[in-house]
Structure 1
Amino acid sequence: MKKKVLGVCFGHQLIARVKGGKVGRARKGPQLCLENITILKDAVAPENYFGEEVPTSLRIIKSHQDEVLELPENAKLLAYSSMYEVEMYSIEDNFLCIQGHPEYNGDILIDILDRVLAGGHITEDFVTTSKATLEKNEADRKFWQKTCKNFLKGQAS
């Protein structure tokens, strides 16, 4: 049995690079926000860790300035967004990689934004725009938690 590896953010990028993909600075710029990603429902099967109802999109908190530019040869794209072509992918049945942070909540994002602003790395306008993404929605954390647990336990739903 192969070990299960869940790659989140830098792990998502590192696994892609180690497995032969390409990683670099995000072509459309960094992200510190809540964002919808589009799930490729057909790609999720047969090892569906999402559950009976695979959503068309999920909200996730993003905090990164690099992205996977090209997937490894044997990787399967599972999700994308308007900002990035590779939001989530799998390799065989033992790697599941997610660009966003399924473990983050809005409070964590606000703390990161405030610290990065205080360090002079982003503008007040960037912070205002990013915080606005949290006003009407929150991350789908329970769904992400279930999906990650199902994957790590090897339980397709």
Structure 2
Amino acid sequence: MPPSISPQAPLYSAVPPSFKKLRLAILETDPELVTVCGTFADLFKRLFTNGTTEAEERAEKVTLDIVTFDVVKGFYPEPDDFDGILLTGSRANAFDNDPWILQLMQYIIRVHASSSARLVGICFGHQVIARALGGIVEENSEGWEVSVTKLPLDAAGQGAELFPEAGAEGELRLQQMHRDHVVVPPPGMHVFASSERSPVQGLYEKGKVLTLQGHPEFNEDVARSLVERQILGGKISEAEGKDALNRVSVKNHGGDVGKAIVRFLNGMV
């Protein structure tokens, strides 16, 4: 059965005169997860409110028209109605074969093959895009990767092109909250960042795909609450939890990644 079109109204759609409007569909892959600062869609709205400023400074004035779709319930956008399609994080496993995950993979393949819409994936979104396009996703035998983590950028300099703010430092620092990870990237996809625990932290295909394992949308309050939840649930040890809580407030590049995503949607990278 073909995906349904969501009747939901735009989440963020104030368009001042003379601004270029970019249309972004957020595919919520865990809509029932509500953090201390709201849903994933709420967090991305806040992130992109700041991210549009960079596009204004470097090129034309930009605003985002955001619409959310609950893909767990089978609601999808028509790809050509949007400039970009962003897949959120989720408590689900990207390597599972639940019907909604298989349907999502077919949608990703369709968008990648025949639409001008650009794909953006974060955490689960990063993993399921990688799987759909031919990569391999597995549970990490070394355990969870949580809190602010250093991600060295690739030596070829692609990371510096995508993230000029972080390129001078040679690394991204992002909040993490995952155990599953991409172990083999899709054919032809550029890996621009890695970590000690997860070798594929970011994927890029010019004009088509930008994904990250980390969470640029998490602020300190969200990250801290999720780490504490992991400790209480026994998913990470007290020692790992203490270390993670010590790093949760470390300055990171979440805002810079938000700006990079806007530049990507705007065709600037």
Query: Is TM > 0.5 for Structure 1 vs Structure 2?
Result: yes
Larger Rg: 2
Alignment TM-score, normalising by the size of structure 1: 0.87
2:219 paired residue number: 105
Count of aligned pairs: 154
Q: In 2 relative to 1, CA 84–143 (structure 1 residues): closer, same or farther, beyond 3 Å?
A: same
Q: Matched residues, percent identical? A: 27
Is 1:120 aligned to residue 234 of structure 2?
yes
With the length of structure 2 as denominator, give the TM-score of the two structures.
0.53
Match of 2:262 among 142, 149, 152: 149
Q: What is the correspondence of 1:1-157 to structure 2 with a 5 Å cutoff?
A: 2-44=116-158, 48-51=161-164, 54-55=167-168, 56-134=170-248, 137-156=250-269
In structure 2, distance between residues paired with 1:40 and 1:68: 17
More off after superposition, 117-126 vs 87-96: 117-126
SS of 1:48 mapped into structure 2: helix
| d(CA) in 1 for partners of 2:238, 2:247 | 15
SS of equivalent to 1:17: helix
Higher normalized helix content (fraction of residues)? 2
Could you list the runs of 5+ residues in structure 2 that have no partner in the other structure?
Answer: 1-114
How large is the RMSD of aligned CA atoms in angstroms?
2.1
Alpha carbons of structure 1 residues 79 and 140: separation in structure 2 relative to 1, 3 Å: same
SS in 1 for 2:181: strand
- Please say if residues 146 and 244 of structure 2, whose CA atoms lie closer than 8 Å, have aligned partners that are also in contact: yes
Q: Is the 8 A contact 1:26 1:66 kept in 2?
A: yes
Structure 2: how far apart are the matches of 1:98 and 1:43?
17
Higher relative contact order (CA 8 A, sep 6+): 1
Runs (4+) of structure 1 moved beyond 4 Å? none
Q: SS of the counterpart of 1:13?
A: helix
